[in-house]
Amino acid sequence: MNIISFDDFQKIEIRVGKVIKVDQFPEARKPALKLKIDFGETIGIKKSSAQITHHYNLENLLGKNVLAVVNFEPRQIGKFMSEVLVLGISDSNGNIVLIKPDNEVPLGAKLH
């Protein structure tokens, strides 16, 4: 485990967004989905690639609130530019389960 300072942690912008579009990503090396996520007026709509196909599909992701790191540098994944990192935790089989707020919060709200 790497120890970081609290000041370092505060530099990470983890925000709430709502998934507004989901597409298959057949070009990805590992099964993945392309997401468009609305983070509200200040941050806007961002794209992400997520390897979450075991628990999620086009229908059950649409409209779901998720947490994502919004201030990483964009990352090229094949021909797709991923702008944010959607956060999840591996289940007992190594499949990703998304982290999400369990109550409604404003889009763009920051994790504290």
| Digit-coded pLDDT (tens) for 71-92 | 999 999 988 999 999 999 999 9
Annotated domain spans of the chain: 6-98
What is the spatial distance between Cα 83 and Cα 88, in angstroms, rounded to a whole number?
16
Architecture of domain 6-98: Beta Barrel (2.40)
pTM equals 0.94
* CA 45 vs CA 4, 8, 96: distances in Å: 30, 26, 23
Q: Which helix (H) or strand (E) holds 90?
A: strand 88-90
What is the spatial distance between Cα 35 and Cα 63, in angstroms, rounded to a whole number?
11
What is the spatial distance between Cα 23 and Cα 35, in angstroms, rounded to a whole number?
7
| Digit-coded pLDDT (tens) for 32-71 | 999 999 999 999 999 999 999 999 999 999 999 999 999 9
What size, in residues, is the chain? 112
